[in-house]
Structure 1
């Protein structure tokens, strides 16, 4: 058996507020996006591993936090910044795997051993 009474609907039509989409922010410069695109270049030029890892973290955060408006308005996609950051890590760690050739004119043995 079902109950015979129905609960009264307490919602009032005159108190309903329609949804209004917030206005667009316009040309707001995103500082994190700027860091995500410039830190890989700094890491490559300075050959600094710490800046390279920071570039990876910032680019991942920037890519994952990208809004739909940012996706439409930016010229480069977020995964491009992640690729550049990974490339900067590759460049900074490259001397570990491919050591630079010895410089010409450098002595082969220490200078004090010659008799």
Structure 2
């Protein structure tokens, strides 16, 4: 079987449709913004480090994915949510560096307890 050396172009110029960029969806941004502002508060209240790290990731994604319309419609810029999530991470790790005062008064777990008053 012989193949032709010159291929025939079967595309029709009258059927060509120019590309039109689709309109951005507005519902996805709302959910991400809500999640980026809610997760830091949940991490602070629950003192959960994993939620704090998730808050940092979501807030950075939301900040980097901001469009011009989102910047105009939101009352606070995206870097505020990043700052809030970093603060929530600091709060969750704070007991490692500054132990609560109630633990200091009771003594250590390995030592003898303080004498009880008579």
TM norm. shorter chain > 0.5: yes
* Alignment partner of 1:88 is 2:114: no
Give the structure 2 partner of residue 9 of structure 1.
none
SS of match in other structure, 1:99? coil
Aligned-residue offset at 1:102:
2.9
Unaligned runs of 5+ in 1: 1-11
Cα distance between partner residues in 2 of 1:82 and 1:43: 14
Unaligned runs of 5+ in 2: 1-12
TM-score relative to the length of structure 1:
0.68
Give the structure 1 partner of residue 38 of structure 2.
38
TM-score relative to the length of structure 2:
0.66
Q: Would the alpha carbon gap of residues 107 and 36 (structure 1) be closer, same or farther in structure 2, given more than 3 Å must change? A: closer
Cα distance between partner residues in 2 of 1:36 and 1:84: 9
Across the aligned residues of Structure 1 and Structure 2, the Cα RMSD in angstroms comes to 3.0
Aligned-residue offset at 1:48:
0.4
Q: How many residues align?
A: 96
